[in-house]
Amino acid sequence: MTTRPVRIGIIGAGFSAHFHLASYRKVYGEAFEVAAIAGRDPAKAAALAAQFGIPRQYASADELLADPAIDIVDLCVPNNLHVPLVLQAAERGKHVICEKPLGGFFGPDGAGADWTADGYSRAAMLDAVTEQTRAVEEAVARAGITFCYAENWVYAPPIVKLNRLMAASGSTLLRIQGEESHSGSHAAYSRRWRTAGGGSLLRLCAHPIGAALHLKHEEGRRRDGKPIRPVSVSAQVAKLTAIPSFEAEARKHIVTGWEDVEDWATITLAFEDGSVAQLTSTDTRMGGIRNYIAAHGSKAVVTANINPNTTCQAYTPDGAYFDSEYLVEKTETKEGWSFPAPDEDMVTGYPDELRDFIGAVANNRAPRSDLLLAMDVMLVIYAGYLSAAERRVVDVLPYLQR
C-alpha cells in the first residue's frame, strides 16, 4: 500500500489522452496526481499539460519512463505501440494502464508501409498475437507490476448493474448478446490493417467481446472460484461499403474508403460451460452510436443500454439550434429526436475505471479489468479473423493455454 499519492504519467497526446485526462478529474476517493505527459506532438502535449495542470512534460516516452517518481504509465497511444511500451514499462518497474486492445498484428517483420492484409494468413496472425500475449504475461509477472486493461465497458454503470442483478438472482448466464456500431471512424489509421490491426471486429467489437468475457469470468468466480473461459469461436466479416449499388450512390452518409479491413463483423463465442455469446459491430450504422449488452440468464433477463439511453431525450426541428451543445458521440445530425448524454464519460465507465486502477496500485490488489481479460479478448478476436477467413469454427483453447 502506498503512503503518498499515486503518480501517473500519460504517454500520448491525442483523443484518448484527452478523455482520460477529463475522466481523471471525476475520480474521487483515491489520492493521486497526473504528474507528467509525453507525446509525439510536443504542441499537443503542451496544450494538454496546460489545460489539465500537468506539471512535467517529456519529449519522449523513454524520458517519462525514466522518471523515478512515476508509479503508473497510462498508454494513450496507437494500437501498434501498446505491446512495445508495456514491455518497456515493465522493465522500468512501472504499473501499466493499457487502452484496448492489448495489441494486434500490423504486418510481418520487415513489412513496408504498403503491406496489406489481403491474402495474408490469419493463422499466422493468430500465432503472432498469441506470442505477444505471452510476452506481456511473462514481463508483467517478472516485474511484479499491476497491469490494468482499460476496457471501460467493464465499468459502465448499466453493465455493472447487469452483473449485480445476475449475481443477486443466482442466474446461469445462458446467452449474451451485444453490439457496438456507428457510422464509421474518421481517423485515417482505421482504414488499413497495417496501422489499425484489423477492422470493426478489432476496433469496435472489442468492447462487447470484453464485456461478455468479463461477465462469464465473474460468473465463474462467483460459482467455482475461477473464470469461465471461451472454447471456440465462429465469425463472419464483410465490407458492406463495397456493395456496388452503394458505391454508385452520389451522397454517402457513412464513412467509406476502407482498404483491407472490414466494416462489419459478427462473432459467436462458445464457453466451457456450454453457454454462448453473440456479438456484432459495424461502421455502417447511422443514427448515432449503438452500445449494449443483453444477458439472458436462468432467473433474469437484463439489457444494459450504454448508447442510446433514455436518460435525456431531445427534439429540435433545426439542428443549428443545438450547435453550441454536445449531444452524443457519432450522431450525423442534431435535427429531430436525439438522446443527449448528460455525462458521457460517467455512463461509459471511464472515471470508475481509472478509480479502480489507481486503487489497485495504491492497495496492491488486482483491478477488475485485468491482464487475463486483455489476453482473452485479443485471442478471441484473431481466432475470429481465422474463422471468417476459413469459414469454420476455431478451437481457441489451444491458444489460451499456450
CB burial readout 146-172, b (16+ within 10 A) else e: bbbbbbbbbbbebbbebbebbeeeebe
**Cell numbers of 86, please?**
508495456
C-alpha to C-alpha distance for 341 and 66, rounded to whole angstroms: 39
Three-class SS of residue 19? helix
pLDDT of 1: 52
C-alpha to C-alpha distance for 71 and 49, rounded to whole angstroms: 18
Residue 323 included in any domain: no
pLDDT of 308: 87
Domain count, the chain: 2
pLDDT in tens, 318-356: 999 999 888 877 777 888 888 887 888 888 899 999 999
Three-class SS of residue 272? coil
- 209 and 85: one domain? no
pLDDT of 310: 84
C-alpha to C-alpha distance for 71 and 52, rounded to whole angstroms: 19
Residue 291 included in any domain: yes
Choosing from 127, 152, 177, the residue where a domain stops is 152
**Cell numbers of 303, please?**
439489457
CATH code of the domain in which 228 resides: 3.30.360.10
**Cell numbers of 185, please?**
471512424
pLDDT of 141: 98
Residue 325 included in any domain: no
Q: Which domain holds residue 80?
A: 6-152
Report the DSSP beta bridge partners of residue 95: 72
C-alpha to C-alpha distance for 61 and 44, rounded to whole angstroms: 15
- 242 and 385: one domain? yes
CATH code of the domain in which 19 resides: 3.40.50.720
- 124 and 233: one domain? no
pLDDT in tens, 19-54: 999 999 999 999 999 999 999 999 999 999 999 999
Side-chain-side CA neighbours of residue 83 (13 Å): 22
CB burial readout 270-302, b (16+ within 10 A) else e: bbebebbbbbbbbbbbebbbbbbbbbbbeeebb
- 302 and 394: one domain? yes
**Which residues does 131 contact at the CB level (< 8 Å), separation at least 6?**
none
Low-confidence stretches of the chain (pLDDT < 70) are 1-3, 402
Q: Give the type of residue at 49.
A: A
Choosing from 152, 173, 189, the residue where a domain stops is 152
C-alpha to C-alpha distance for 375 and 102, rounded to whole angstroms: 7
pLDDT of 134: 96
Query: What count of residues does the chain have?
Result: 402
pLDDT of 202: 98
C-alpha to C-alpha distance for 4 and 361, rounded to whole angstroms: 12
Contact assessment for residue 380 and residue 267, using Cβ atoms and an 8 Å cutoff = yes
DSSP state of 251: -
Sign of the C-alpha dihedral, residues 258, 260, 265, 271? Answer: negative
Choosing from 119, 137, 152, the residue where a domain stops is 152
- 105 and 49: one domain? yes
